Structure 1
Amino acid sequence: MRIPGLEYTARALSLSTGSQRPLSDDPFRGVSDTRFLSRPELPGGTPLSLCEVSRPTDLYNITSVEVTQQPIHFDDFFLFHLYGTFQGTFTPNATITFSVDCGSHCEDYGYPPGETSPYEAWTEGFCTLTDIQQPLGGLPKRNTTCPPVEGFALLESPGYVMPMFFRRPGFFNFTFDAKTAEGGRIYCLTAEVCLRWEDEEINKRYKGPMTNCTWPR
């Protein structure tokens, strides 16, 4: 059994190019690397956390993540702001892969205990989908500041939850994995979230144990 519409959801909650002013300066500079051990949500108030594959040696060491809107619903536009430090540079043909699966709710989708859904993924050029402010406070110059140089930087990208690609409210586990052309990891973020319509009358049309979930999970 596959999650209805799963083959489209990686595109539906995706990043795209954009340039906005930063929400704040880096208030979390110097956060301890113990976060790599416990995988807590990153500072900034979002449900995003580092992936299990994340390491202190990743090229972009994220200290905080912000989004301009919470909760996020179907048909919402919003902005991601990633604060962190580049520990090196890379070639312009780096990529970012967006993937989605059933996360911790696979049994609710009909999978046997311990079995996960086949994830769906979509890959695009990192520099195409990311505006980088470096130095912080300067104008984002896509394709000029990307690839970046070593040092602190703000990454900005907007997202949109395209309703036509989701069949019903529920839980979805998203991963954003950025890599160099050689396979080195730039960063990896993940979040399992509840997505619903803002209009409760639309949500009431759907039945099931997960349609009454609340943001973020």
Structure 2
Amino acid sequence: MLIPAIENAVKALPLFTALQKPIFNAGYTHDSFSVKDEIPDGPFSLCEVSRPTDLLAITSVSLSKRPVYIDDLASVNFYGEFQESFKGNGTIELTVNCGSHCEEYGYPKDTPGANTSFTFCDMSEIEQPLQGRKATCPPEKGPTIITSLVYVLPMFLRAPLIDKGYYNFTFDAKTDEGERIYCLQTEVCLRWEDEKKNQLYPPSSWRDFVKSCSESDGIIES
């Protein structure tokens, strides 16, 4: 079963190429499904499919802005080391679904979401200072800093998504040959910084549900 509203929103993501493709960030909840290991300093965790053999060994993730709200623009920095070099531009598959909150929304557990693909090199500004390389992709073996812009799309909070608050975002990056670069996920509760906008949604639906997004487990803090 595919959630139509999420499917339509995901299909619209490539329209934002000027923003280096959006990545959605917010607070991490420890009851997120398919969580393996939480990564220090940021709201991301490794996926269950992640392995020590993944090409990028991530040590930490930092956000330039906290908290992050709907319609915010910030940057995310990945720190780590490429264990091997690779050729080609690679891809990132973004999957959006209801995560560990599917049953709260009236959907079966593990309900499939929607997905779309981006080019890894297009959304990743890669610096490898020890190798004297800046903003180059594909990368070489060695330490690296990857910077991407963070933009939380307002469309995820527009009708008909008035009865939803939490979303699970999974970013699965692979080479052109299908070798995994990394796989990260985060489960977030989307809301506006301006509480007046949160109050525009009908009572007993998303507006009431989003009240459960406290400063410790929602998009307010990570």
Length-normalised TM-score, structure 1: 0.78
1:71 to partner: Cα distance: 2.3
Number of residue pairs matched by the alignment: 192
State the distance in 2 between where 1:68 and 1:166 align: 23
Query: Structure 1's 211 and 3: CA in aligned 2 closer, same or farther, altered over 3 A?
Result: farther
1:201 to partner: Cα distance: 1.3
2:81 is equivalent to residue 85 of structure 1: yes
Indicate the residue corresponding to 1:51 in structure 2: 47
For residue 210 of structure 1, give the secondary structure of its aligned residue in structure 2.
Answer: helix
State the distance in 2 between where 1:85 and 1:55 align: 14
| C-alpha contact (below 8 Å) 2:157/2:190 kept by paired residues | no
1:17 to partner: Cα distance: 3.2
Any gaps of 5 or more consecutive residues in structure 1?
Answer: 19-37
Indicate the residue corresponding to 1:40 in structure 2: 37
What CA RMSD, in Å, does the superposition of the two structures yield over aligned residues?
2.6
| C-alpha contact (below 8 Å) 1:78/1:160 kept by paired residues | yes
What amino acid is the match of 2:209? M
1:140 to partner: Cα distance: 3.4
| C-alpha contact (below 8 Å) 1:64/1:83 kept by paired residues | yes
What amino acid is the match of 1:71? P
What amino acid is the match of 2:140? V
2:147 is equivalent to residue 156 of structure 1: yes
Indicate the residue corresponding to 1:32 in structure 2: none
State the distance in 2 between where 1:179 and 1:130 align: 13
Indicate the residue corresponding to 2:124 in structure 1: 130
Query: Structure 1's 9 and 214: CA in aligned 2 closer, same or farther, altered over 3 A?
Result: farther
Indicate the residue corresponding to 1:33 in structure 2: none
Higher fraction of helix: 2
Length-normalised TM-score, structure 2: 0.77
Bigger drift between 52-61 and 158-167 goes to: 158-167
% same residue: 48
State the distance in 1 between where 2:145 and 2:187 align: 24
| C-alpha contact (below 8 Å) 1:75/1:163 kept by paired residues | yes
For residue 5 of structure 1, give the secondary structure of its aligned residue in structure 2.
Answer: helix
State the distance in 2 between where 1:138 and 1:77 align: 29
Any gaps of 5 or more consecutive residues in structure 2?
Answer: 22-34
2:208 is equivalent to residue 205 of structure 1: no
| C-alpha contact (below 8 Å) 1:5/1:166 kept by paired residues | no
Which residue, out of 162, 166, 183, partners 2:157? 166
Indicate the residue corresponding to 1:27 in structure 2: none
Indicate the residue corresponding to 2:214 in structure 1: 214
